Amino acid sequence: MKLKICGMNHNPSEVAELQPDYLGFIFWEPSARYCSGDMPIIPSQIKKVGVFVDADQGYVLEKVPKYQLDAIQLHGKESAEYCQELKNSFPSFRAQSRNLDIIKVFSIKDDFDFGVLEPYEEVCDFYLFDTKGKLPGGNGYTFDWSVLERYPSQKPYFLSGGIGLESIQGLQEFLSSPASKNCYAVDVNSKFESAPGLKNIEDLKTFIESLNSIRN
């Protein structure tokens, strides 16, 4: 079980010291966690994820080398064709001995039609399921994880949406259920903030300790 901490902005170096598997940087200007300017040096074992929302492909591909991204997270209404076109642009980055993953986000409210995943099966490396809210991500609400009992794919996915310290018991129960069979990572964001983009290090430490306990 991997851990992704998203919405990096004000204290990414401190968060990186906690050694999560992924750090997410949001490249969508309306976000309160919008990433601009320079990025601090992040240890190479931590994968950097660029989060985009219906962005022009040129904008996405510009950010990949600039910030040395390891994965692209698509949080809007990007089509399977869009994902394929991005993938077709990746060989030049692979030539630099860097692999790039595509994480396609799907937001869930009360129910979800898993049939929408089918066109993405061949063009995405991971799915990410979060809670449908007014804005893409960082809404602080959890969806009913039992929906994932009907997950039809073998593709690994990230579990996101309002996960905080109060979610630990629920996470333990979920991760011991058949619905979590393909759950690859847990994604946290707004529940661990003192302000948008400013992560609460002590709360993250507590969560990581609990997650490691569940992992073991």
**Number of domain units in the chain:** 1
Residue 18's CATH number: 3.20.20.70
Share of residues in the chain with pLDDT > 90 (%): 80
Q: Which domain holds residue 126?
A: 2-215
HSE-CB of 191 using CA atoms within 13 angstroms: 17
- The confidence score (pLDDT) of residue 97 equals 47
Reported pTM: 0.93
**Strands 126-131, 101-108: parallel, antiparallel or unpaired by DSSP?**
parallel
- The confidence score (pLDDT) of residue 111 equals 84
- The confidence score (pLDDT) of residue 46 equals 97
Nearest to 47 by CA among 63, 15, 24: 24
pLDDT per residue over 122-138, tens digit each? 999 999 999 876 666 55
More confident residue, 2 or 111: 2
- The confidence score (pLDDT) of residue 141 equals 75
